[in-house]
Each structure stands twice: as structure tokens, then as C-alpha cells.
Amino acid sequence: MLRQEAEVNSDQDLSCQSNSRAGQTITLFLCGDVMTGRGIDQILPYPGNPQIYEPYMTSAKSYVKLTEQVSGPIPRPVDFGYIWGDVLEELRCQGPDARIINLETAVTTSPEFWPLKGIHYRMQPRNIPCILAAKIDCCVLANNHVLDWGYAGLTETLTRLADAKLKTAGAGRNLSEAEAPAIIEVAGKGRVLVFGFGHESSGIPRLWGAASKAGVNLLPDLSEHTVSRIAERISAVKQQGDCVVASIHWGGNWGYQILSEQRGFAHRLIDLAHVDVVHGHSSHHPKGVEMYQGKPILYGCGDFLNDYEGISGYEEFRGDLTLMYFMTLDLTTGQLVSLRMTPMQIKRFRLNYAHPDDVRWLQHVMDRESRLLGTRIELADSRHLALSVSH
């Protein structure tokens, strides 16, 4: 049984947990969609042009006002670390070797918004230090917002992130660049290869697919043929001891269902392309977790940070509750050693430790959905969840 080695009592909840196998393993921090644009951009030190082109809002500042009406005032400007809140302490405690997010916003001053698209996210490039504040290593960009502000916006996003020494995956100036992995060097351990993929089911327009032009690494389908092509690309760069992450933006915003097509694709990525971690995102709430051939599949990590506070609808999914995923992998086999999850809550555009009642609610939901996939999600302590698999 894969689980936490020991139950942690309440007095230890605030302490950092050490990894006794640190010399033989690698630990990754993964999360879902990080939306630092629109309303969140407006509270940062260098707010960009607030004009947006939505059916009900014409200014990003309106999202700030909406949140403040529900939760109280947000001091402005906040410092760059503000949005991460308790995440910074949790990262310090867990000490992951690599930190990977899905950055769901363009980083640009481009005024060329994509026509006939209802939502447009952008962050002023001078606010990039908010990403650096959490020491993020890789921003996956294969999502349905990276081209919100046109090809000029995508090109500037790639340039600005590279200038900040942030690695990217899943989008590029051409197909070759979009398909290329982000390579994270972990001193004394090895490399993490992050391949980013987008699927139309998440709302990515087909026109956004990279070719001779800029765009995202768009999956044509979820067939075995597509997996075979991915396997060829992975084998061309993978070295012995590398950890391979397939980060996929797929599926709708709400609902826990996992399509058999998605499940089969994830399994084939592990069987045929020798992927070690499937990192799914797009859903606005966390979905079930599966273990397959000793490898973890996160079908939907949920939004991690957004400006939705105060927007009504879909309350039963508790989109304000988010998860930090810390997975430790065996460096020799690539198999999962442990998966620990830390629930957070978004309030006033800041991530805070979730209340114990909310932790228990999220554990119940995650366990219910993960049982359908053959896994269990248990309370490790009052602040953390852990994956448990019966063999």
C-alpha cells in the first residue's frame, strides 16, 4: 500500500515534513491553472490596461470590485508574493525539486484581442516577478488563454518569460518550438522533461494550433497514432534517469466525469511513450487521481488561482478550494513513491490554508472520485491529503 508512512498529529501540522529518501527520489510540485491576468493583474504593482472585451464586463477592475464586495478590501498595490499567500510557506516546507504550473494568461501589452472570444486574460509583463516569487521553474502554455491577445501577445509572452529565465512548454513561435519540452535540470539528481499539450475539448480554437506560425501544441485527437508520434518526440530527447511529465489542457470546466477516451490516452502515454506523470488541467475544480503501472495520472488539477470570487454559479463544486500536488518519484524506475496534497482556499486573490472543515470536504470528494479509478485519498493530517493505493 502506497501511503504516508505515519500519521502526523495536530502539533506537527505546522512543521515541515522531511523526505528520508531524498537521495534516491525527485519531488515535483504541480498545480492547475494559474490566472494572474485580468483582476489579479490590477492589484499587482504594475497594473496593465484594464480594458477587456466581455459580454458583461468592460474593465478588469470590475473583477476586483466584485471580490471586494464579497470578501472585503484588497490593499493596492500588493507585493509580488501576496497572491501566493500560504503557498510560499508550504513550498518551503515541502522543498520540491521542480515547480510546474499551467500559466493561463498572456503576458503582454498587446491590444490585439482575439475576436469572437468571450474572455481575454493578460498580465502586464512588469508583473512577472509575481511568478518568480514562488520560484516557479516551468510555465505550461498549451491552454485556451495564451493567445487571447493575438499572435503578437503570444510572441511577447514567450519572450518575456524567457527573459525572466522561466521555462515554457506547449506553445512556441512554430510547431517545432511548441512541441519541444521544457528541460529542468535538478542538481545532483537529473532532469525533468515537461511536454505541454492542448486539446480542443478545453476550448482551444483549432486555429491556435502551431504550424509554420506561432501557436500551441494542439493534439489532433487522442488516438494511438497520436501517442506514437508523441513517443517518438520523447525518445528523441529522453536520457536514462529523466522524469517525463505530460501536461495536458483538456476537458470542460465543470463536472467530475473522466471520459474513457481520456483515460485510454493517459494509459497509452505511460505504456507507449514512457511518460512518468500525466498532469491534466482545465477543470475549475480538482478531479479524481489514478495510479496506472505505478505512475500517477492527475486528470484535472483544478484552478489554482483566479479572480472568480464573487461570481455565482456552480457553488456545489467549491471552485474556491484548490490543491497543491507534491509527488515524489523513484529516480530509477520513475514510479510514484508518494503523493501528498495540500488544500488551499482563494480569498481576496490570495491563497490561504483551507479550514479543517474544508480539508475534510475536499478529502471526501477526492476520495469518492478517485475510488472510481482504483485509488483512495485519505487525510494525512488536518492540513494534508495523501494518496493510498491497495495492491
CATH of the domain at 197: 3.60.21.10
The answer to the question of residue 335 being in a domain is yes
- 275: containing domain: 17-388
Kindly state whether residue 229 falls inside one of the protein's structural domains.
yes
Rounded Cα gap, residues 12 and 17, in angstroms: 9
Please check whether residue 5 lies inside any domain of the structure.
no
Bond preceding residue 73 cis, omega within 30 of 0:
no
What residues does 99 pair with on adjacent strands?
Answer: 29
Whether 2 shows a pLDDT value over 60: the answer reads no
Any domain includes 206: yes
Does residue 1 fall inside a structural domain?
no
Greater confidence (10 vs 361) lies with 361
Three-class SS of residue 280?
Answer: strand
| Residue 174 pLDDT > 90 | yes
Please report whether residue 319 resides in a domain: yes
Residue given cell 484588497 in the structure block: 74
* pLDDT tens-digit series, residues 92-149: 999 999 999 999 999 999 999 999 899 999 999 999 999 999 999 999 999 999 999 9
The per-residue DSSP string of 159-211 comes to: HHHHHTT-EEESEESSHHHHHSPEEEEETTTEEEEEEEEE-GGGT--GGGB-S
Specify the pLDDT at position 73.
Answer: 97
Q: What is the pLDDT, as a whole number, of residue 229?
A: 98
The yes-or-no verdict on residue 54 having pLDDT over 80 is yes
In a domain, 9, yes or no: no
Please give the tally of structural domains in the chain.
1
**How many C-beta neighbours within 10 Å does residue 373 have?**
17
Whole-prediction pTM: 0.94
> Is residue 173, in this structure, part of any structural domain at all?
yes
